[in-house]
Chains A and B, each alone.
Chain A
Amino acid sequence: MKQFFNAFIKGDLLTRLSFFILGLSNIFRGQIIKGLLFLSTEIAYLYYMFSYGFSAIGKLRNLGTVKQGWVYDENRGIDVLQPGDNSMLILLYGVFAIFITIAFLMILKSSATQAFELEKEIRRGKKPLSFYKEIAQYTDSKLHRTLLFLPVIGVVVLTVLPLVFMILIAFTNFDRDHQPPGNLFTWVGLENFKAMLSSGSTLGKTFFPVLGWTLVWATLATSLNYILGMLLAMLINKKGIRIKGFYRTIFILSIAIPQFVSLLVMRNILDDDGPLNVLLQKAGFVTEYVPFLTDTTLARITVIIINLWIGIPYTMLITTGILMNIPEDLYESARIDGATPVTQYFRITLPYVFFVTAPYLITQFIGNINNFNIIYFLTRGGPATLDYYQAGKTDLLVTWLYKLTVGSKDYSYASTIGILVFVISAVFSLIAYRRTSSYKNEEEFG
């Protein structure tokens, strides 16, 4: 920023003019192509802003005022549509115009500082870089720009732009009663957050219990998968066990089946009248069917157990290699000290593996908070309950969010939940990463 103002204060007239007519300095100082590119960018930007951009940003203030209407046409015998404003498109195009403006300001800044640099170079008596040479820089000292260009564009257009749009939705009343194009929606400030976080409201009465279950779920799912997966890897790795590859392949097969297939099949097998219940009854273990998916507590346990089926192979796969890397002499000396296998596990194996996989564990936890597949395909959030608003007893925040968007089109509440999920994940990761890095420094491994 300092450079930018410096350029304006210290630069000559041509440099100062380049602040308003981009590329002017380049054009008159020998970098004609580059200067023209700057200039055409500005023209394109101004053209866009005057034809669409300014009005798009202006409409952001209240997201449209004209409601769609109908006028009866006697001659045609039908109503004729009088198109109104579409709040959603206004918001999207407004955000888009702001993105374009930010991009343009970045170009403006770079053009201005470059103009000043150029002025200084010439004063020093150097020849300005030719266009060809400047391009050549993009395969060398500026290679990062070349390589990052397309990926960053992709992320900005299809991830950041939609995300900003949806974050803004959380501050509007874009719900089932305000559906465009028939209705307008507008800014409501923090209303949605208030409704979501006040414990007495319809939404709050659902939000907090669902949040609680989401956290319990994420903790149990992550830790059980981790510990049991590691134990499985240790069993397969055990000395004297043959056909290790065969066992590994079998467990890995479950990863290869698309989750929507395996989970839907599980849903069928675990049904109240499903094959597993029939089997259990025939074998005489139970007299009544076991409500694997229809009783609240049992359904929650089932979800966690089925998640083991999905998750354990991953942990097994990852920890197998690490386990083989643990220096044998650590165990050797522990044995001499008379440590039992259990002590060895807790003193040597677990800390070692944990040290290497701590970041993986954190991403797993975040992933489980957002674990959509298992709930959506296995239980659909059920069993249903009278206590929640549009959610079931195994619904996580993300599946509730999904139900609110696809089911009842309450986008504003869904976005609010999304932001809150983000806050929870961010806070957790921040704390966890801090912990692991301090943990790392103290440890001797690695």
Chain B
Amino acid sequence: MKKFTAVFITLALVILTFAACTNKNVSENNNGNVDQKKTVTLRVWGAQDDKEMLTKLIDDFKKTRTNKNWDIKISVVGEDDAATEILKDVSAAADVFSFASDQIATLKKAGALYRVTNTDVKTRNSPAAISAATIDNEIYAYPASSDTFFLYYDKAIFSEEEVKSLEKIMAKNTGDRITNFAMKIDDGWYSSSFFFTAGCTLFGKDGTDKTQCDFNSEKGVKAANYMIDLANNKKFANLDDAKIKAGFKARTLGAAVSGTWNAADIKLSLGDDFGVTKLPTIRIDSEDRNLVSMANFKLCGVNAQTKFPEEAHELANYLTDRAAQETRFRTRNYAPTHTELAGDKDTLSSNDVVAALTAQSMHSILQTSIDQISNFWTPAEAFGTGIINGTVTKDNVKEKLDAFVKAVLASVKEEENNAE
């Protein structure tokens, strides 16, 4: 066998490349400081529709800090995809990134988050926002905005009074063509409302105990029965965002549950009849209770492997301070977490969408920050689907809820130990 030249060239090439790779790090540090100013290269991740706003914020950031050469690049990775992209390769991820608060535990576990030591962050933001950014009593991200869902409605169909209660919404005779109320109940983000309203908790009282979920308690059965009745009502429809928007556009939808990201499109469709408010009350346990929504936060994190930690923290701090949050609020309808700004009723009420969100925030429950939450979504979807297609009925609801809770609390690890 003389595979000689072949293997030789490969070897040489491969070794050279690997050698070159390992040498690169050395040479980077030797970039001589001929220029007195330090050059800072940073990359920021944000959602595509925030890009314009971020560009403006960052331009201002650079203008006010002329002591360094800033080379800041914005790339598009939305809050929802942040964890997936970061976990693929932490060292290739952005220095400063936006992410949804339910990813914080996963990110922290993978060692991707830089601890926040700036004490100002804790004092200026609301306690709920801080708790969403906290793991083991340490803050790991800068809160940027709070997010939950609320009610959009068509003023030509419902009055301000009627949308206060789901029973009233459903009871109104709106004719054959119109769906009174829509909500995506095969999505845990929305469907958990009914359980929370009934008094159930997910992962214990403070949402950090991964062995606790009482959706299958008596209260949970009441919530599930309410959902079954609702789903069986012809005036209700289980609609996703696209269909909700299509429904409002065709004016065949009275009221629907959704979030800020749909505000612009729905406003455009309804025009003067655009209505938005907090979620309605539901009658459960012979008592009218406001629907409780799951709330989460958009957070700004600093990459643990950033080459410029001080500057990255400075930027993340800047992108989430009071002025930046006001820009976010004005340009993108984002609800602030800054206590002063959030307390500024005059400013907030100028924007009906954010006002509705803020009103709903009084009745919201913080989405847990433990990573067991990743086991919640699929079973919740399955349970919702079951209600819609009639496989979950009042007769077997308890049994289905037991399976639901079991799936939420399932852990591959423990089973593994049992199997041994």
A interface residues with partner B (beta carbon < 8 Å): 34, 37-38, 40-41, 44-45, 47-48, 51-52, 68, 70, 72, 76-81, 96, 100, 103-104, 106-107, 109-111, 113-114, 138, 145, 149, 152-153, 157, 175-177, 179-183, 191, 194-195, 198, 200-203, 273, 291, 294-295, 382-387, 389-392, 406-410, 413
Contact = CB atoms under 8 A, between A and B. Distances in A.
Given A273-B243, A390-B378, A201 B111 contact: no
B12 A44 contact: yes
B123 interface: no
Contact of B111 (A52, A68, A109): A68
Contacts of B199: none
B400 A386 contact: yes
Interface string B6-24: 1110111011001100100
A182 B108 contact: yes
B371 A110 contact: no
Nearest to B371: A176
Contact of A114 (B2, B108, B186): B2
Contacts of B416: 191, 194-195, 201
Contacts of B304: 68, 81, 181-182
B140 to A, nearest CB: 11
A389 B412 contact: yes
A103 B11 contact: yes
Contacts of A77: 117
B412 A79 contact: no
Nearest to A393: B382
Contacts, number: 178
A58 to B, nearest CB: 17
B27 interface: no
Contact of B310 (A68, A76, A103, A138): A76
Contacts of A386: 379, 382-383, 386, 400, 403-404, 406-407
B5 A194 contact: no
Shortest Cβ-Cβ A-B pairs, 6 listed: A182-B111, A179-B110, A384-B382, A384-B381, A201-B415, A386-B403
B412 A410 contact: yes
B249 interface: no
B411 interface: yes
A413 B413 CA distance: 11
B184 interface: no
10 contacts: A37-B5, A81-B114, A104-B7, A114-B2, A145-B6, A176-B106, A179-B106, A181-B111, A273-B237, A386-B404
Contact of A177 (B18, B407, B413): B413
A181 B305 contact: yes
Contacts of B351: none
Contact of A202 (B4, B379, B415): B415
B26 interface: no
Contact of B18 (A48, A76, A387): A48
A408 B5 CA distance: 44
A106 B108 CA distance: 45
B178 interface: no
A294 B7 contact: no
Contacts of B2: 110, 113-114
Contacts of B117: 72, 77-79
A181 B412 contact: no
B7 A103 contact: yes
A198 B400 contact: no
B313 interface: yes
B1 interface: yes
A384 B378 contact: yes
Contacts of A72: 117
B112 interface: yes
Given A78-B313, A194-B420, A385-B382, A47 B15 contact: yes
A78 B116 CA distance: 8
Contacts of B114: 78-79, 81
Given A149-B6, A183-B110, A410-B412, 9 more contacts: A40-B8, A41-B8, A48-B15, A79-B115, A80-B309, A96-B18, A110-B2, A182-B109, A408-B374
A392 B382 CA distance: 8
A382 B115 CA distance: 39
Nearest to A69: B111
B385 A294 contact: yes
A77 B2 CA distance: 61
Contacts of A291: 389
A201 B108 CA distance: 28
A101 B313 CA distance: 44
A81 B371 CA distance: 24
Contacts of A410: 412
Nearest to A113: B1
B8 A202 contact: no
A81 B412 contact: no
Contacts of A408: 374
Given A76-B310, A408-B374, A107 B4 contact: yes
Contact of A294 (B10, B371, B389, B410): B389
Contacts of A181: 90-91, 110-111, 304-305
Given A68-B111, A182-B109, A195-B415, A81 B1 contact: no
